[in-house]
Amino acid sequence: MLFRFSSSFLESISTHVDPKLPFISLSKGLELNTLRTMSTIIPRALGNRRQPFVVLSGPSFAVELMNKLPTAMVVASKDNKLASSVQQLLASPNLRISTSSDVTGVEIAGALKNVLAIAAGIVEGMSLGNNCMAALVAQGCSEIRWLATKMGAKPTTLSGLSGSGDIMLTCFVNLSRNRTVGLRLGSGEKLDRIMGSMNQVAEGVSTAGAVIALAQKYKVKMPVLTAVARIIDNELTPTKAVLELMNLPQVEEV
């Protein structure tokens, strides 16, 4: 379900939803006009701030899960008992589920890793090499950590399954839709043509629109992720973006 339709859909069914019914969210993105994640959208739309909620995230391509290949994910909830219940429900010999109480960290990492994957794809499409790829992804990971911790996330979450685990999968594997969009942008294709030819959603394209607003709201410098947003908005070409990033002031690593 697209984020822009989530609130209206949930509002339309709110009278039919049991206030004790747990929701498991697999959505990775942000509501663009409000910058809200599903953990906020679902209770508000249903008119129940205590609606049980869990977010499931982590490095997982559906096709590999269906083929019963070993996979690990994380389930996050402020309700530890609910997280444990979902863990027991979903765990199998092929699927390992960890639990977390850091809903914010899991949701923000899941949303912004898609934007970073577009950047990784652009590097690949421009044939900028492995050194550049490693530097860009490392910088992007730092930017996601800076923002998420400002929003209340735990740093350890960003180095776990829903953070660096999902980032590695999405940035480096050809099955990634967002990486594919970036690769085609880096190869010189226009965004309209790319999106028109895809039959699946690349969440990072729409989420990129929220990056600049989030960076401004939380006063975090995010040069890589905001560059992706500017490329998508036709404010910047991939070539100029690389030049800008390489000409940033030399700073201490944090």
Tokens 């994910």 belong to residue: 73
**Annotated active-site residue in 20, 78, 81, 113:** 113
Contact 220, 143 (CB under 8 A): yes
Are 146 and 222 a contacting pair, CB within 8 Å? yes
H helix count then E strand count, the chain: 13, 4
Report whether 177 contacts 207 (CB < 8 A). Answer: no
Q: Tell me if residue 81 is catalytic.
A: no
**Distance from C-alpha of 182 to C-alpha of 163, rounded to nearest angstrom:** 20
Give the 3-state secondary structure of residue 250. Answer: coil
Catalytic residues: 113
